Structure 1
Amino acid sequence: MKKQKNDAKLLKKALELGMAYAKKQGYGDLDKSVSSKDKVECIYRLLVEAKQITPLAVDQEDGPNMKHKLVLWISRLLPADHPLLQ
């Protein structure tokens, strides 16, 4: 799993867009008491269900791999000249 330069910022952006996507699809907001780990898993599962990302193998479904999938997802959505991709 290759780390990108701005992984933490890309993950934050992925969670923001993932939450916006969830809200658009009719899901409620996750309140501030929900942990980051749980937010990552919720957004990951929503995007898999919506066929926006390919699912991980069952034995690889853990926090770091889900985060990596979200970072890859957002990296593909952002324009090539976006500052986070530099």
Structure 2
Amino acid sequence: MKKVKNEKELLKKALQVGQVYAKNRGYQSFGPTDSFDQKVECIYRLLVNDKLLIPLPADQENGVHMKKRLVKWISHQLPAEHPLLN
């Protein structure tokens, strides 16, 4: 897979937007003991369930690929002039 510029920052932004989306959908928010990987998986599965994200093939469903999918998703959600996309 091709390396995305500002990937870490885009992933953080995807989690922020995903958490707001989850909260608006009725999810109570993440607890202080929830790991980063648990948050990634939860938001990924919610977006797939709501058909906002194309699911990964079953053999590629792991943390690394979920993170990349979230980065790609947020890249399409942000306006073209957003600083993380330049």
User: Which TM bucket (shorter chain)?
Assistant: over 0.9
The CA RMSD measured in Å over matched residues stands at 0.5
List aligned pairs for 1:1-86, cutoff 5 A: 1-86=1-86
Deviates more, 1:25-34 or 1:38-47: 25-34
Percentage of matched positions with identical amino acids:
57
Moved over 4 A (4+): none
Unaligned runs of 5+ in 2: none
Counterparts of 1:23 and 1:57, CA distance in 2: 27
Alignment deviations for residues 34-55 of structure 1 (CA, whole Å, 9 cap, x no partner) = 0001100000000000000000
TM-score by length of 1: 0.98
Aligned residues: 86
Q: In structure 2, give the amino acid aligned to 1:83.
A: P
Structure 1, unaligned runs of 5 or more: none
- The amino acid across from 2:80 in the alignment is A
Q: Which amino acid is the alignment partner of residue 17 of structure 2? A: L
Residues of 2 paired with 1:3 and 1:33: CA distance?
Answer: 30
Give TM-score, length-normalised by structure 2: 0.98
